[in-house]
Structure 1
Amino acid sequence: MARKTPTSKEELPKAKINKDTIKSVKKLLRYLKPYRTKFLIGMVFLFFSSVTVLAFPALLGAMIDAAQSVQKYDWLPMSIQTIGVISFIIVFFQAFVSFFRIRLFVEVSEKSIADIRRDTYFNLISLPMNFFSNRWVGELNSRLSADLTQIQTTMTTTLAEMIRQIISLIGSLVFLIIVSPKLTLLNLTILPLMIVAAVFFGRFIRNLSRETQDKLADSNTIIQETLQGISNVKAFVNEAFEAGRYKNSLSEVVQVAIRGANYRGAFVAFIIFCIFGAIIGVIWYGSVLVYNGELSVGDLTTYILYSMFVAGSMGSFPDLYANVQKAVGASERVIELLEENKEAVSLQQVDPSQVETLSGNLAFDQVQFAYPSRKEVPVLKGISFQVKAGEKLAIVGSSGSGKSTIASLILRFYDPQGGVIKFDGQPAESFSLTDIRSQIAIVPQDVLLFGGSIRDNIAYGKLNATEEEIVEAAQRANAHEFISGFPEGYQTLVGERGVKLSGGQRQRIAIARALLKDPAILILDEATSSLDSESERLVQEALEELLKNRTSIIIAHRLSTIRQVDKIIVVNNGEVIESGTHDDLMQQEGGMYRYLSELQTENKPIQL
């Protein structure tokens, strides 16, 4: 089954509220500190907004009694006009405090959530590569979108609504007791039965609903797999099989949904019976009290309204509590990101004058490495080689032999478990990550461009580059001609991941980006292996310009492109098995390099 990550439109997982989860929430609440004054003022406005609502049932009841010439309190005679004026004053006050409550809560939540988003994103891009190798991009994006949106909703709406409902519930219960203890006692006898039934049925129905969602997710997975592999489906003439598989999956969804509907229908019928039965009971018993002179019509109206307040407050608590649980779960997941161990990189713009300059000498001394996610599988087993500043080293080997891993270690995406990597004779650890990476450029086989303009993608190698520098880099990379052919020129949008450009065009933009960076060490990771002949010629010319006067590490697939390098090492199964120039290696009888070179010269398929 395809792995799913929650989005803003999907059901976010809920967390149990306990000591550990509360600690996570407290860690996020520190983001409220800079805005605590406005938050507290908003809470005051929330309190007044909630309390003033409780006055309306009492005022309505008093107005009805005044219309019937019934005076509730001899010491406080009030006419209909007086009650009406007081009501309008309270309405105005209610509108006034509600505006500022909403205004302050939104401002506090927006600013604090923006701070959380900023810190989470900054921490995210500072995490080591090992973290990203064990995570899905969709999962991380969900934490920055769905999880933080849930936290924001809770801060702006759910929290305020829960406090308001608590005040409404407590205040309404107090007024119910004051208005008529007898009617309150009648309600309290029905209430426990409804609560027990709601808890029992609610849990059972949630489980059925979750089962329905799981079944529906299975059917959606079938759609996703079928459409992604539609060429295989058609090639094997399995349309009927996939249609049957989807039909069976939908049947299971329908069966579970109907079973859930039966229980939900029974639960709703029970609740409706209890609610309307309670209303009828209150009105019937209240009418008896009115008839006996123990209660006025205004008091009965007031009581009914307060009863509706109590019912509304209690009915809203399950959803509010569920939203709080989601927010607590979201807080835990966000805190996980905030507390991940970061790389020692600076988030400030690199000042070239502050960078410790590398001349380009590079050495691997008995380097051993296994990826942290697969520690039991060694990738490099004591690799050693040396490159002097300005030299060109080619790395040749079969797929999975460790060539790209060497590139990752040079960039210090990972640290070796054994041996030493040296820059200019010093261990890599003696330089900052920022100093090393700011002086190394890589041109990969599959170039990733950002979704902006061509100019922005070239300038990514030097953010403060002038237009003249950008154009010069494009000219040296054989890219200026095709860029100028676009109507928008350098402002042409490349599309997501550069999909609007061909492979050769993307490669030349990547080379221009590397030229603009002017690195001390250059890594070419099979940069021409997936190109057609014409594109390869143009890219190869650009690469020759890029390779001038800098240390170059060339991971090669086509051996014809590396004959003029200073040194070639052949890697197999994580070890260097051959080393030398092209001529040296071609003289080795039975050597792997000679074997591969002869296969490519004869245009025979290579079995790596």
Structure 2
Amino acid sequence: MSILGYLRPYRRQIAYALCALLFTATITLSIGQGVRLIIDQGFSTGSTAQLRHYVQLFLLLVAALALGTFARYYWVTWLGERVVADIRSQVFNHLIDLHPGFFESNRGLEIQSRLTADTTLLQAVIGSSVSVALRNLIMMLGGTVWLFVTNAKLSALVLLCVPLVVAPIILFGRRVRGLSRRSQDSIADVGVYVGEVLGQIKTVQAYNHQPLDKARFSTVVEQAFAVARLRAVQRGLLISIVIVLVLGAVGLMLWVGGLDVIAGRISAGELAAFVFYSVIVGAAVGSVSEVIGDLQRAAGAAERIVELLASENEITAPPVGLQRLPARISGTIELHNLGFIYPGRPEIPALDAINLRIEPGTTLALVGPSGAGKSTLIDLLLRFFDCSEGHISVDGIDIRHLDPVDLRRCFALVSQTPALFFGTIDDNLRYGKPGASQQEVEAAARAAHAHDFICALPQGYQTRLGDAGSGLSGGQKQRLTIARAILTDAPILLLDEATSALDARSERTVQLALESLMRGRTTLVIAHRLATVQSADRIAVLDHGRLVAQGTHQELIQSCSLYAQLAKLQFDTHS
């Protein structure tokens, strides 16, 4: 990832920051001459007027330095915050469009860590470390020039020390970069573990798993600490070596310079100025060597972010042959010799040679044992994955010839686990139709048998929900997702085990809401409870990814042994 690409739109702000940077560096270097003038023209002459004049000049330089520092700090910090905000937006916008298969093979919490911790590190580097590095480079170069202007002989001693200082910076810098990448990875592991455990806190406590989780977390933290300690040792050695070399050289210059003052070859003010510039150059070299560690860490963070941005979306609109669906489709779905194999399980087909046609406005139920391929079929309909063989068509158009956005607007999904988000009930209901009026929202809630319980809540439709709708019962959550689907008003409805996790009373209420939702829509229902799909226009029986039978409930009881076995197990159990 090229940071320059993100900085390019902000040339004007960069110019402001550079001007302030150059201004403050120039003022800082000028202070050395102010010190020389105070000593040689103030102290040495014994003139009170001269001393007052040069002290006032010195204070004027200090005031200018303060103003310049404010401007530099503001614009550099602004650039850091602005660039990182752009990076975060680009990464998020890229991630949210990636196919769901990407998130099945990459841990979501680790991705979250990259989006937050790594970009925060970049912000600190762009908004601070880069400025410090540039400022100290200017100070180092400017100070070196003034050293030669002040005393060429003493400056030659500085040049002798340069190779001694640069060598450890190069040597330790490489080590620090590798350790910085490992440190960022280990910090991400800490965040991932915390998120995973706290996200399943009820299960953790129900099984009294806290001691094991504490021990495992301690291991993860200690691993992160070990890597950070190694990085700290390398950086500490680098800084210590640079300090010894630089300040040792300053001590040598003081000895040689002091002899020259005693011999009358230079003035005390010139030696003071030379020492000032020596300290400036030494401090600059030390700061640059320290900042190199931050830059190495930033490089590691940038590599991790680049990996995310380089991830390709496998589900996109076709570059050629793009077709569009009409504003309102009839809802005809056809599966032609459909086959699918998950990349992680290439030896076992999830779906094999499926042929089905679902007429507009009818209900098709998918039944079969777990792992038969029912949910996979819904994933393929929504084009979360592309089929391995055959094709799916909606209203006669192969869905691979459609923009996924155009395709998915035709579907409303109600899944087994209600998908609710942090925010108000109103926000959640409008999720599929943000521009809906309040009357439309309430009408959808009434149709889903949710209006009464919503109104009974403290803030009604403005009641804020916790993560995943915490605070509501399973039936209430499910009715909200059904209301959202009703409000979306899509022509094709996908119900994936929408009532399987509910008690009998909640199931009855939700079933009534679903009947309102299904009316006039093409509906595909996945259900393990055969009692909920007996009234479907047609039932398709899947087993090991193959379509083994289809027909009505009564027809399948007579013609399909698998269906008859499932029906016997369920209805005999409940009888």
Shorter-chain TM-score tier: 0.7 to 0.9
Residues 423 and 42 from structure 1, CA distance in 2 versus in 1: closer, same or farther, beyond 3 angstroms?
Answer: same
User: Counterpart of 2:568?
Assistant: 598
Whole-Å separation in 2 of the counterparts to 1:43 and 1:232: 53
Is the contact made by 2:449 and 2:479 (CA closer than 8 Å) also made in structure 1?
yes
2:278 aligned to which of 302, 307, 317: 307
* Counterpart amino acid of residue 393 in structure 1: L
The 5-angstrom pairing of residues 94-493 of structure 1 reads 94-190=65-161, 192-193=163-164, 196=167, 277-338=248-309, 340-342=311-313, 343-344=315-316, 356-493=327-464
Whole-Å separation in 1 of the counterparts to 2:467 and 2:264: 77
* Counterpart amino acid of residue 98 in structure 2: L
1:260 positional shift: 9.8
Whole-Å separation in 1 of the counterparts to 2:505 and 2:84: 51
* Counterpart amino acid of residue 51 in structure 2: I
The alignment-based identity, stated in percent, is 36
Whole-Å separation in 1 of the counterparts to 2:443 and 2:225: 64
Is the contact made by 2:109 and 2:195 (CA closer than 8 Å) also made in structure 1?
no
User: Counterpart of 1:497?
Assistant: 468
1:182 positional shift: 3.3
Provide Cα deviations, 1:318-360, integer angstroms capped at 9, x if missing partner. Answer: 33223333434444444454454455579xxxxxx99532101
Residues 444 and 154 from structure 1, CA distance in 2 versus in 1: closer, same or farther, beyond 3 angstroms?
Answer: same
User: Counterpart of 1:34?
Assistant: 9
User: Counterpart of 1:58?
Assistant: 33
User: Counterpart of 2:58?
Assistant: 87
User: Counterpart of 1:44?
Assistant: 19
Whole-Å separation in 1 of the counterparts to 2:414 and 2:535: 19
* Counterpart amino acid of residue 599 in structure 1: L
Q: 1:60 is paired with a residue of what secondary structure?
A: helix
Residues 328 and 177 from structure 1, CA distance in 2 versus in 1: closer, same or farther, beyond 3 angstroms?
Answer: same
User: Counterpart of 1:514?
Assistant: 485
Provide Cα deviations, 1:262-320, integer angstroms capped at 9, x if missing partner. Answer: 99999888777656644443333322221111222212211221111111111112332
Whole-Å separation in 1 of the counterparts to 2:297 and 2:86: 20
User: Counterpart of 2:517?
Assistant: 546
User: Counterpart of 2:321?
Assistant: none
1:200 positional shift: 5.6
Residues 216 and 371 from structure 1, CA distance in 2 versus in 1: closer, same or farther, beyond 3 angstroms?
Answer: closer
Whole-Å separation in 2 of the counterparts to 1:37 and 1:324: 24
1:601 positional shift: 1.3
Residues 64 and 320 from structure 1, CA distance in 2 versus in 1: closer, same or farther, beyond 3 angstroms?
Answer: same
Whole-Å separation in 1 of the counterparts to 2:215 and 2:395: 64
2:494 aligned to which of 508, 511, 523: 523
Whole-Å separation in 2 of the counterparts to 1:468 and 1:237: 48
| Count of matched residue pairs | 566
Q: 1:587 is paired with a residue of what secondary structure?
A: helix
1:208 positional shift: 8.9
TM-score (normalised: structure 2): 0.85
1:472 positional shift: 1.2
1:138 positional shift: 2.4
Provide Cα deviations, 1:362-383, integer angstroms capped at 9, x if missing partner. Answer: 1111111123454444211111
Q: 1:603 is paired with a residue of what secondary structure?
A: helix
TM-score (normalised: structure 1): 0.81
Is the contact made by 2:110 and 2:191 (CA closer than 8 Å) also made in structure 1?
no
Whole-Å separation in 1 of the counterparts to 2:446 and 2:167: 77
Whole-Å separation in 2 of the counterparts to 1:390 and 1:597: 26
Whole-Å separation in 2 of the counterparts to 1:564 and 1:481: 28
Residues 41 and 177 from structure 1, CA distance in 2 versus in 1: closer, same or farther, beyond 3 angstroms?
Answer: same
Is the aligned partner of 1:571 residue 2:542?
Answer: yes
Gaps (5+ residues) in structure 2? 319-323
Whole-Å separation in 2 of the counterparts to 1:215 and 1:458: 39
* Counterpart amino acid of residue 479 in structure 2: R
Whole-Å separation in 2 of the counterparts to 1:112 and 1:267: 30
